[in-house]
């Protein structure tokens, strides 16, 4: 019992030690010995007392626990974003169900990650879940009211509702706070395209593409603007770039079919529309399955190709 009481007292006193300004860990045992009113311990001593061993073990334990704690903190600060990369790839391929499940998995671990919430909102907009996208904007505002990503999301929501003036206003506000945000440029470019301002659309979408050169969604929209402007070779240039990033995007193949049809290459047009149709069927995207089938019939009729 006496030994236990002594150990308890030593432990308590160690925790209350105030280190001097010039402190050497080499002399740590001697310093503790003086603090506990024990005899000095010399490093070259051939005989170590039980108190010395106890103090030294306690020091190592405390050092080890502090080191482990710092490691966990660093790990928490750097979340593994592999799931987000997986979600982005699925989003590019228009596989929105997979993109949604991947980002939800990530957010279950990091619910306050603004970039993940921002991306999730884009998935929700793409699947026409506009109320849920608005909720993600509100979550970002709750984390930080100054983050422009919330306004960018709300701009997308209004664009999805065809409320173009409000979408433009919010997207511009987001860009005023952070000119490096890419999505607002894309929203503005798409609105200009729908309003027939094709040249302006191309200009804005080029800025979006400059900010994220490998963003497949932007490359797809930019190619659509060039197709609308009858600049088919320019459209093909950006579609080729999109295919370098990912060859499995149905919308890219659909636009490529339009380009080749207008460049009078019926065989290539048919190859790409068939790939687009294949991917749309796999994704069970009803609207685009119908569009791809219609395009296939038009190409077959124009170039006299059997379906």
pLDDT at position 36: 45
pLDDT over threshold 90, residue 179? yes
Q: Rounded CA gap, 110 and 169, in Å?
A: 31
User: What is the tens place of the pLDDT at every residue in 246-296?
Assistant: 999 999 999 999 999 999 999 999 999 999 999 999 999 999 999 999 999
Work out the pLDDT band at 11, boundaries 50, 70, 90.
very low
Global pTM?
0.71
Domain layout of the chain by residue ranges: 2-75, 249-307
User: What is the tens place of the pLDDT at every residue in 202-224?
Assistant: 999 999 999 999 999 999 999 99
Buried b (16+ CB within 10 A) or exposed e, 27-43: ebbbbbbeeeebeebee
Q: Rounded CA gap, 199 and 183, in Å?
A: 19
Q: Rounded CA gap, 199 and 226, in Å?
A: 9
Instruction: Quote the mean pLDDT of the chain.
Output: 83
pLDDT at position 59: 53
């Amino acid at each position: 019992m006496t030994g236990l009481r002594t150990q308890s007292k030593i432990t308590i006193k160690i925790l209350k030690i105030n280190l001097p300004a010039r402190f050497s860990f080499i002399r740590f045992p001697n310093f503790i010995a003086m603090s506990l009113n024990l005899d000095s311990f010399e490093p070259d001593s051939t005989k170590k007392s039980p108190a010395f061993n106890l103090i030294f073990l306690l020091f190592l334990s405390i050092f080890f626990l502090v080191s482990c704690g710092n490691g966990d903190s660093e790990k928490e600060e750097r979340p593994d974003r592999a799931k987000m990369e997986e979600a982005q790839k699925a989003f590019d391929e228009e596989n929105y169900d997979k993109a949604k499940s991947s980002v939800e998995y990530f957010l279950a671990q990091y619910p306050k990650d603004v970039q993940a919430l921002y991306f999730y909102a884009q998935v929700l907009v793409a699947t026409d879940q506009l109320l849920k996208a608005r909720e993600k904007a509100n979550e970002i505002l709750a984390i930080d009211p100054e983050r422009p990503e919330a306004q960018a999301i709300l701009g997308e929501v209004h664009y999805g509702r065809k409320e173009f003036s409000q979408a433009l206003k919010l997207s511009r506000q987001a860009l005023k706070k952070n000119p490096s945000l890419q999505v607002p440029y894309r929203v503005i470019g798409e609105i200009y395209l729908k309003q027939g301002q094709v040249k302006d659309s191309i200009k804005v979408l080029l800025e979006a593409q400059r900010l994220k050169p490998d963003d497949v969604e932007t490359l797809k929209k930019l190619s659509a603007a060039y197709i609308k402007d009858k600049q088919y070779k320019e459209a093909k240039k950006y579609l080729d770039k999109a295919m370098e990033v990912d060859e499995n995007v149905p919308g890219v193949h659909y636009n490529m079919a339009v380009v080749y049809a207008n460049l009078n290459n019926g065989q290539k047009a048919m190859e790409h529309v068939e790939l687009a149709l294949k991917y749309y069927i796999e994704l069970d995207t009803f609207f685009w399955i119908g569009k791809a089938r219609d395009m296939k019939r038009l190409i077959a009729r124009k170039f006299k190709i059997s379906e």
